[in-house]
Amino acid sequence: MSKSPAVYILTNKPNGTLYVGVTGNLVQRIWQHKNHEVPGFTTRYRLNKLVYFEMLDDMYAAISREKQLKNWKREWKVELVEQKNEQWRDLWDEIVG
């Protein structure tokens, strides 16, 4: 996977706590979350399952999308995840494969 800007959603279990993030290197960032190298909210709640991501054209677009998603109601985020990942699978293998 290329080093393009991305917005992503992490969780700890299906319908669990959600975290919306933005990065310029999705593989590296998710690896950091999985290995608890990111202190704070994601480490505290053990959010290390990638359940949704969007690749964007530039970091400005990615940051704008992240802000938009962070302002969404939880219900809308759940619907977004389930549109592309109904089973709440960890998409890690998809981004590194």
Instruction: Examine residue 15 and state whether it is found in any structural domain, yes or no.
Output: yes
CATH number for 78: 3.40.1440
Q: What is the pTM of this model?
A: 0.96
Distance CA 61, CA 79 (A): 21
Tally the domains of the chain: 1
Order of strands, sheet of 6-11, starting from the edge strand that comes earlier in the sequence: 19-23, 6-11, 49-55
Q: Is residue 31 part of a domain?
A: yes
Domain membership flag for residue 25: yes
The answer to whether position 55 is within a domain reads yes
Percentage of the chain modeled with pLDDT above 70 = 98
Please check whether residue 22 lies inside any domain of the structure: yes
pLDDT of residue 40: 94
- pLDDT, one tens digit per residue, over 84-94 is 999 999 999 99
Say if 1 falls within a structural domain.
Answer: no
Mean pLDDT computed over 11-33? 96
Domain that holds residue 15: 6-96
With a cut of 70, say whether residue 1 has pLDDT above it: no
**pLDDT beyond 90 at 38:** no
- The answer to whether residue 80 sits within a structural domain is yes
